[in-house]
Protein backbone atom coordinates (compact mmCIF):
# COMPACT_ATOMS: atom_id res chain seq x y z
CA UNK A 1 0.00 0.00 0.00
CA UNK A 2 1.43 3.35 -1.04
CA UNK A 3 1.54 6.37 1.26
CA UNK A 4 1.47 10.13 0.78
CA UNK A 5 3.88 12.41 2.60
CA UNK A 6 3.67 16.20 2.68
CA UNK A 7 6.52 18.61 3.47
CA UNK A 8 5.62 22.05 4.79
CA UNK A 9 8.42 24.04 3.19
CA UNK A 10 9.91 26.99 5.03
CA UNK A 11 11.64 29.89 3.36
CA UNK A 12 13.42 33.04 4.42
CA UNK A 13 14.69 36.03 2.45
CA UNK A 14 13.73 34.47 -0.87
CA UNK A 15 15.46 31.12 -0.25
CA UNK A 16 14.26 27.66 0.75
CA UNK A 17 15.54 26.94 4.25
CA UNK A 18 18.04 24.14 4.72
CA UNK A 19 15.80 22.42 7.29
CA UNK A 20 13.14 21.94 4.59
CA UNK A 21 15.58 19.86 2.55
CA UNK A 22 16.43 17.90 5.71
CA UNK A 23 12.72 17.26 6.38
CA UNK A 24 12.39 16.06 2.78
CA UNK A 25 15.31 13.68 3.35
CA UNK A 26 13.61 12.36 6.51
CA UNK A 27 10.45 11.62 4.53
CA UNK A 28 12.47 9.94 1.77
CA UNK A 29 14.25 7.81 4.39
CA UNK A 30 11.04 6.07 5.47
CA UNK A 31 9.25 6.02 2.11
CA UNK A 32 8.82 3.05 -0.22
CA UNK A 33 8.88 2.97 -4.00
CA UNK A 34 5.52 4.21 -5.21
CA UNK A 35 4.96 6.57 -2.28
CA UNK A 36 4.15 10.19 -3.11
CA UNK A 37 6.12 13.00 -1.48
CA UNK A 38 4.74 16.48 -2.07
CA UNK A 39 5.53 19.91 -0.67
CA UNK A 40 3.47 22.98 0.14
CA UNK A 41 4.72 26.56 0.09
CA UNK A 42 2.80 29.32 1.84
CA UNK A 43 3.49 33.03 1.48
CA UNK A 44 3.43 35.75 -1.13
CA UNK A 45 5.11 35.89 -4.55
CA UNK A 46 6.22 32.26 -4.42
CA UNK A 47 7.18 31.59 -8.05
CA UNK A 48 10.95 31.86 -7.52
CA UNK A 49 10.75 29.68 -4.40
CA UNK A 50 8.74 27.08 -6.32
CA UNK A 51 11.43 27.12 -9.00
CA UNK A 52 14.12 26.43 -6.36
CA UNK A 53 12.13 23.61 -4.76
CA UNK A 54 11.21 22.02 -8.09
CA UNK A 55 14.79 20.85 -8.50
CA UNK A 56 14.36 18.27 -5.73
CA UNK A 57 12.72 14.82 -5.87
CA UNK A 58 9.06 15.68 -5.28
CA UNK A 59 5.86 14.45 -6.86
CA UNK A 60 4.34 17.93 -6.87
CA UNK A 61 4.45 21.32 -5.20
CA UNK A 62 1.35 23.13 -3.93
CA UNK A 63 1.50 26.93 -3.79
CA UNK A 64 -0.78 28.85 -1.44
CA UNK A 65 0.15 32.31 -2.65
CA UNK A 66 -1.60 35.32 -1.11
CA UNK A 67 -0.48 38.66 0.24
CA UNK A 68 -2.29 37.85 3.50
CA UNK A 69 0.23 35.03 4.03
CA UNK A 70 3.31 37.20 3.50
CA UNK A 71 4.08 37.07 7.24
CA UNK A 72 3.59 33.98 9.37
CA UNK A 73 0.31 34.03 11.26
CA UNK A 74 -0.65 30.68 12.84
CA UNK A 75 -4.37 31.25 12.49
CA UNK A 76 -4.09 32.19 8.81
CA UNK A 77 -1.60 29.42 7.98
CA UNK A 78 -3.69 26.69 9.60
CA UNK A 79 -6.78 28.04 7.84
CA UNK A 80 -4.95 27.94 4.51
CA UNK A 81 -3.57 24.43 5.04
CA UNK A 82 -6.67 22.58 6.28
CA UNK A 83 -8.56 22.55 2.92
CA UNK A 84 -5.41 21.26 1.18
CA UNK A 85 -4.90 18.59 3.83
CA UNK A 86 -8.54 17.53 3.55
CA UNK A 87 -8.03 17.16 -0.20
CA UNK A 88 -4.65 15.39 -0.15
CA UNK A 89 -5.25 13.35 3.01
CA UNK A 90 -1.51 12.83 3.59
CA UNK A 91 -0.41 9.96 5.79
CA UNK A 92 2.39 12.04 7.29
CA UNK A 93 3.38 15.70 7.45
CA UNK A 94 7.01 16.72 7.96
CA UNK A 95 8.44 20.15 8.75
CA UNK A 96 11.41 21.63 10.58
CA UNK A 97 11.60 21.97 14.36
CA UNK A 98 11.90 25.73 14.03
CA UNK A 99 9.96 28.61 15.55
CA UNK A 100 7.36 28.19 12.79
CA UNK A 101 7.32 24.40 12.93
CA UNK A 102 7.01 24.25 16.73
CA UNK A 103 4.00 26.55 16.53
CA UNK A 104 2.29 25.16 13.45
CA UNK A 105 2.70 21.39 13.91
CA UNK A 106 0.61 21.03 17.11
CA UNK A 107 -2.19 23.12 15.61
CA UNK A 108 -2.30 20.93 12.50
CA UNK A 109 -2.15 17.76 14.59
CA UNK A 110 -5.09 18.97 16.67
CA UNK A 111 -7.13 19.80 13.57
CA UNK A 112 -6.44 16.39 12.00
CA UNK A 113 -6.65 14.46 15.28
CA UNK A 114 -3.21 13.15 14.34
CA UNK A 115 -0.31 11.88 16.41
CA UNK A 116 2.63 14.25 16.68
CA UNK A 117 6.33 13.85 17.40
CA UNK A 118 8.58 16.87 17.80
CA UNK A 119 12.34 17.41 17.57
CA UNK A 120 13.17 14.10 15.86
CA UNK A 121 16.91 13.56 15.41
CA UNK A 122 17.02 10.24 13.51
CA UNK A 123 14.87 7.50 11.99
CA UNK A 124 14.96 3.72 11.77
CA UNK A 125 12.93 1.52 9.45
CA UNK A 126 10.30 2.75 7.01
CA UNK A 127 6.59 3.04 6.38
CA UNK A 128 4.24 2.46 9.29
CA UNK A 129 7.00 0.56 11.08
CA UNK A 130 9.30 3.60 11.25
CA UNK A 131 10.91 4.34 14.62
CA UNK A 132 11.61 7.95 15.56
CA UNK A 133 14.46 8.90 17.89
CA UNK A 134 14.30 11.98 20.13
CA UNK A 135 16.58 13.48 22.79
CA UNK A 136 14.96 14.00 26.20
CA UNK A 137 15.98 15.33 29.62
CA UNK A 138 18.19 18.03 28.13
CA UNK A 139 20.01 15.50 25.96
CA UNK A 140 20.87 13.14 28.83
CA UNK A 141 18.73 10.33 27.39
CA UNK A 142 17.10 9.27 24.15
CA UNK A 143 13.73 7.72 23.46
CA UNK A 144 12.39 5.71 20.56
CA UNK A 145 8.81 6.36 19.48
CA UNK A 146 6.50 4.68 16.99
CA UNK A 147 3.11 5.82 15.73
CA UNK A 148 0.21 3.42 16.15
CA UNK A 149 -1.71 4.74 13.17
CA UNK A 150 -1.76 7.43 10.47
CA UNK A 151 -1.82 10.40 10.11
CA UNK A 152 1.45 11.63 11.60
CA UNK A 153 2.83 15.13 12.17
CA UNK A 154 6.62 15.24 12.61
CA UNK A 155 9.13 18.04 13.17
CA UNK A 156 12.83 17.34 12.58
CA UNK A 157 15.67 19.05 14.41
CA UNK A 158 17.89 21.13 12.08
CA UNK A 159 21.34 19.75 11.21
CA UNK A 160 20.51 16.15 12.12
CA UNK A 161 19.47 14.82 8.71
CA UNK A 162 21.57 15.36 5.59
CA UNK A 163 19.97 17.79 3.15
CA UNK A 164 18.55 15.91 0.17
CA UNK A 165 20.41 16.26 -3.11
CA UNK A 166 18.75 17.83 -6.17
CA UNK A 167 17.18 15.42 -8.65
CA UNK A 168 18.35 15.01 -12.22
CA UNK A 169 15.11 16.39 -13.63
CA UNK A 170 12.88 19.14 -12.31
CA UNK A 171 9.11 19.19 -12.04
CA UNK A 172 6.90 20.03 -15.00
CA UNK A 173 4.60 23.04 -14.93
CA UNK A 174 1.54 20.88 -14.30
CA UNK A 175 3.23 19.49 -11.18
CA UNK A 176 3.32 22.94 -9.59
CA UNK A 177 -0.24 23.48 -8.43
CA UNK A 178 -1.65 26.81 -7.28
CA UNK A 179 -4.17 26.49 -4.47
CA UNK A 180 -6.93 29.04 -4.01
CA UNK A 181 -6.99 30.81 -0.66
CA UNK A 182 -9.66 33.11 0.67
CA UNK A 183 -8.68 34.85 3.92
CA UNK A 184 -11.21 34.44 6.74
CA UNK A 185 -13.25 37.53 7.46
CA UNK A 186 -12.48 37.52 11.18
CA UNK A 187 -8.89 36.74 12.09
CA UNK A 188 -8.15 37.26 15.77
CA UNK A 189 -4.70 38.60 14.93
CA UNK A 190 -3.29 40.36 11.90
CA UNK A 191 0.45 40.67 11.26
CA UNK A 192 1.12 44.02 9.60
CA UNK A 193 4.90 44.01 9.69
CA UNK A 194 7.82 41.95 10.96
CA UNK A 195 10.83 43.88 12.26
CA UNK A 196 13.79 41.54 12.41
CA UNK A 197 16.86 42.36 14.44
CA UNK A 198 20.00 41.40 12.55
CA UNK A 199 21.86 38.75 14.53
CA UNK A 200 24.35 37.58 11.91
CA UNK A 201 24.70 36.44 8.34
CA UNK A 202 24.19 32.75 9.17
CA UNK A 203 21.02 31.35 10.75
CA UNK A 204 21.95 30.12 14.21
CA UNK A 205 19.87 26.92 14.15
CA UNK A 206 21.25 25.87 10.75
CA UNK A 207 24.88 26.97 11.22
CA UNK A 208 27.58 24.32 10.77
CA UNK A 209 29.97 26.25 13.03
CA UNK A 210 28.96 28.32 16.07
CA UNK A 211 31.21 30.52 18.20
CA UNK A 212 29.40 31.14 21.45
CA UNK A 213 30.15 33.47 24.36
CA UNK A 214 29.20 33.46 28.03
CA UNK A 215 29.63 35.80 30.97
CA UNK A 216 33.37 35.48 30.44
CA UNK A 217 33.18 37.89 27.48
CA UNK A 218 32.58 40.59 30.14
CA UNK A 219 30.90 43.16 27.86
CA UNK A 220 29.19 43.81 24.54
CA UNK A 221 32.58 44.67 23.05
CA UNK A 222 33.83 41.30 24.28
CA UNK A 223 31.76 39.64 21.55
CA UNK A 224 33.71 41.37 18.79
CA UNK A 225 36.60 38.84 18.75
CA UNK A 226 33.99 36.03 18.64
CA UNK A 227 32.22 37.69 15.72
CA UNK A 228 35.53 38.01 13.87
CA UNK A 229 36.32 34.32 14.39
CA UNK A 230 32.81 33.33 13.26
CA UNK A 231 33.17 35.45 10.12
CA UNK A 232 36.48 33.79 9.24
CA UNK A 233 34.95 30.32 9.71
CA UNK A 234 31.68 31.17 7.95
CA UNK A 235 29.78 30.45 11.14
CA UNK A 236 27.31 32.09 13.48
CA UNK A 237 27.63 33.71 16.90
CA UNK A 238 25.66 32.39 19.87
CA UNK A 239 25.50 33.15 23.58
CA UNK A 240 24.64 31.67 26.94
CA UNK A 241 21.72 33.01 28.95
CA UNK A 242 24.19 34.56 31.37
CA UNK A 243 25.63 36.71 28.59
CA UNK A 244 22.16 37.72 27.42
CA UNK A 245 20.95 38.50 30.96
CA UNK A 246 24.04 40.65 31.50
CA UNK A 247 23.09 42.73 28.45
CA UNK A 248 26.12 41.74 26.38
CA UNK A 249 24.02 40.61 23.42
CA UNK A 250 20.48 40.16 22.13
CA UNK A 251 18.33 37.27 23.38
CA UNK A 252 17.96 36.13 19.77
CA UNK A 253 21.46 34.64 20.16
CA UNK A 254 20.63 32.64 23.29
CA UNK A 255 21.40 28.92 23.21
CA UNK A 256 20.11 26.61 25.91
CA UNK A 257 17.06 25.19 27.60
CA UNK A 258 15.19 28.51 27.37
CA UNK A 259 16.81 29.51 24.07
CA UNK A 260 17.65 27.78 20.81
CA UNK A 261 18.70 24.15 20.49
CA UNK A 262 21.60 23.80 18.04
CA UNK A 263 23.53 20.85 16.62
CA UNK A 264 26.41 22.30 14.59
CA UNK A 265 29.41 20.39 13.31
CA UNK A 266 31.67 22.51 15.53
CA UNK A 267 30.68 24.43 18.66
CA UNK A 268 33.29 26.76 20.17
CA UNK A 269 32.32 27.78 23.73
CA UNK A 270 34.19 30.90 24.88
CA UNK A 271 33.97 31.96 28.51
CA UNK A 272 31.02 29.63 29.14
CA UNK A 273 31.08 27.73 32.44
CA UNK A 274 28.78 24.94 31.22
CA UNK A 275 25.60 25.20 33.28
CA UNK A 276 23.17 22.36 32.62
CA UNK A 277 20.65 24.80 31.10
CA UNK A 278 23.19 25.79 28.43
CA UNK A 279 24.32 22.22 27.79
CA UNK A 280 20.70 21.33 27.00
CA UNK A 281 20.92 23.51 23.92
CA UNK A 282 24.27 22.41 22.48
CA UNK A 283 25.41 19.08 23.94
CA UNK A 284 24.54 17.19 20.73
CA UNK A 285 27.07 19.22 18.69
CA UNK A 286 29.44 16.98 16.71
CA UNK A 287 32.63 18.57 18.10
CA UNK A 288 32.72 20.83 21.16
CA UNK A 289 35.72 23.08 21.80
CA UNK A 290 35.84 24.89 25.15
CA UNK A 291 37.94 27.95 25.96
CA UNK A 292 37.91 28.92 29.63
CA UNK A 293 40.49 30.15 32.10
CA UNK A 294 38.98 28.01 34.87
CA UNK A 295 40.34 24.44 34.47
CA UNK A 296 37.50 23.15 36.69
CA UNK A 297 34.70 24.63 34.55
CA UNK A 298 31.96 22.01 33.89
CA UNK A 299 32.09 22.74 30.16
CA UNK A 300 35.34 20.74 29.94
CA UNK A 301 33.46 17.58 30.94
CA UNK A 302 31.49 17.60 27.69
CA UNK A 303 34.15 19.18 25.46
CA UNK A 304 36.05 17.13 22.88
CA UNK A 305 38.87 19.67 23.02
CA UNK A 306 39.66 22.14 25.79
CA UNK A 307 41.88 25.20 25.98
CA UNK A 308 42.60 26.60 29.45
CA UNK A 309 43.37 30.25 28.92
CA UNK A 310 42.06 33.79 28.54
CA UNK A 311 39.61 33.90 25.64
CA UNK A 312 40.79 37.42 24.75
CA UNK A 313 44.23 35.95 24.04
CA UNK A 314 43.18 32.59 22.62
CA UNK A 315 40.37 33.65 20.24
CA UNK A 316 42.44 36.26 18.30
CA UNK A 317 45.23 33.67 17.90
CA UNK A 318 42.73 31.13 16.56
CA UNK A 319 41.30 33.74 14.20
CA UNK A 320 44.78 34.58 12.91
CA UNK A 321 45.68 30.92 12.31
CA UNK A 322 42.36 30.04 10.66
CA UNK A 323 42.64 33.07 8.42
CA UNK A 324 46.05 31.86 7.23
CA UNK A 325 44.84 28.28 6.75
CA UNK A 326 41.71 29.26 4.83
CA UNK A 327 43.33 31.67 2.39
Q: Annotated binding site: which residue ranges?
A: 215, 240-241, 254-258, 271-278, 292
Q: Which residues are annotated as a binding site for FAD?
A: 215, 240-241, 254-258, 271-278, 292
| 3-class DSSP string for the chain | CCCEEEEEECEECCEECHHHHHHHHHHHHHCCCCCEEEEEEEECCCHHHHHHHCCCCCCEEEEEECHHHCCCCHHHHHHHHHHHHHHHCCCEEEEECCHHHHHHHHHHHHHHCCEEEEEEEEEECCHHHCEEEEEECCCCEEEEECCCCCCEEEEECCCCCCCCCCCCCCCCHHHEEECCCCCCCCCCCCCCCCCCCCCCCCCHHHCCEEEEECHHHCCCHHHHHHHHHHHHHCCEEEECHHHHHCCCCCHHHEECCCCECCCCCEEEEECCCCCHHHHHHHCCCCEEEEEECCCCCCHHHHCCEEEECCHHHHHHHHHHHHHHHCC
Amino acid sequence: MSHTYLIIAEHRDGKIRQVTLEALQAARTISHDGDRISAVLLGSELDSLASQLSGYPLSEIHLIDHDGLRHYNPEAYVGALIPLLDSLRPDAIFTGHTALGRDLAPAIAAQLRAGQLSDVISLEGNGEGAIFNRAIYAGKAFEKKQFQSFPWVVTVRPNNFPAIEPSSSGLQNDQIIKVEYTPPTSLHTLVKEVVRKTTGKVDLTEAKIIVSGGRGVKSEDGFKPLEELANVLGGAVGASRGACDSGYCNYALQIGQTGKVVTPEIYIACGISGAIQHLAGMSQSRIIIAINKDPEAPIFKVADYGIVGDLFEVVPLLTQEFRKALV
